[in-house]
Amino acid sequence: MTANKKAIVAGGGLVGALWAIFMAKRGYDVEVFEQRSDMRIAGYSGGRSINLAMSERGWKAVRKAGIEDKIRKVAIPMYGRMIHSLSGELAFQPYGEAGQAIYSVSRGGLNLELLRIADRFENVKFHFDHKCRGVDLDNNIAAFEHIPTGDRIQMQAPLIFGTDGAFSAVRNSMLKRPRFNYSQSFLDYGYKELTIPATDDGRHAMPNLNALHIWPRHNFMLIALPNADGSFTCTLFLPFEGGEDAFDQA
């Protein structure tokens, strides 16, 4: 392996794990640094567990990673929105033509499968519990902290990819460069995850499981996505503040 076929990936989430697979297939030596512990041992903790509503774009990536069949088995097609009115009436709004759907997929489950596939490549190495602390962009050096011990290491590679999510440390380093254009805005809304468990006999508690259920209520809403185990993962979206239906009053 030549030295210039080396890549560092900061962040082993959905994009980082997928990207490691793609780079490995192209013959790169890939070092993935993820701040969380190995979810194959520790479980999917500290990350979002809200289901993904996956469309064709996601399937294309999953197909290329070679795990489409596995994910299809646990993905539930949602052919449209099921709107729940205040009076309890249901209205179904199809997403497309007959047979077209987006799919409810476990975020943790998908991440786990991507990690497993990536780890099967001899040229991919995972470093869990390692938090990226920044990148020296002039010298292609990424700095990481081993969280349990506080030890710092530095890694150099011609290619460094920042797949470390919304609060990216890699992007933060880029921000310090002149003329790097960046803007960030925050929503007035937050969200909380809730669960509708399966019935005692393991079925979905709501009929019409092949839909994305929505309870629109003016300034807030609840959504529910079906899981293969009979439960629904729900997300309650509320404004952070303002009125009795806000997180600061809850």
Ligand X SMILES: Cc1cc2nc3c(=O)[nH]c(=O)nc-3n(C[C@H](O)[C@H](O)[C@H](O)COP(=O)(O)OP(=O)(O)OC[C@H]3O[C@@H](n4cnc5c(N)ncnc54)[C@H](O)[C@@H]3O)c2cc1C
Which residue of 7, 28, 31, 33 would you call a contact of ligand X, by CB under 6 A? 33
* Stretch touching ligand X by CB under 6 A, among 34-42, 82-90, 115-123, 210-218: 34-42
Q: What phi-psi label fits residue 11: left (phi over 0), alpha (psi between -120 and 50 degrees) or beta?
A: left
**CA–CA separation, 23 vs 16, rounded Å?**
10
Q: Is residue 226 a contact residue for ligand X (CB under 6 A)?
A: no
Contacts of 104 (CB under 8 A, 6+ apart): 51, 52, 53, 54, 75, 76, 77, 78, 212, 225, 226, 227
Q: Is residue 224 a contact residue for ligand X (CB under 6 A)?
A: no
Q: What is the number of alpha carbons within 13 Å of residue 183 lying toward its C-beta?
A: 1
Q: What is the number of alpha carbons within 13 Å of residue 127 lying toward its C-beta?
A: 20
Q: Is residue 104 a contact residue for ligand X (CB under 6 A)?
A: no
Which residue of 22, 37, 44, 53 would you call a contact of ligand X, by CB under 6 A? 53
Which residue of 117, 169, 209, 212 would you call a contact of ligand X, by CB under 6 A? 169
| Nearest residue (beta carbon) to ligand X | 13
Task: Print the binding letters for residues 175-214 with ligand X: x by CB under 6 A, - otherwise.
Answer: ----------------x-----------------------
Q: Which residues pair with 153 in a beta bridge?
A: 144
Supply the minimum distance, in Å, between the C-beta of residue 241 and ligand X. Answer: 19
At residue 102's C-alpha, the angle toward residues 11 and 91, to 5°, is 130
Supply the minimum distance, in Å, between the C-beta of residue 234 and ligand X. Answer: 12
Which residue of 6, 7, 9, 11 would you call a contact of ligand X, by CB under 6 A? 11
Task: Give, as ranges, the residues between 108 and 147 that touch ligand X (CB under 6 A).
Answer: 131-132
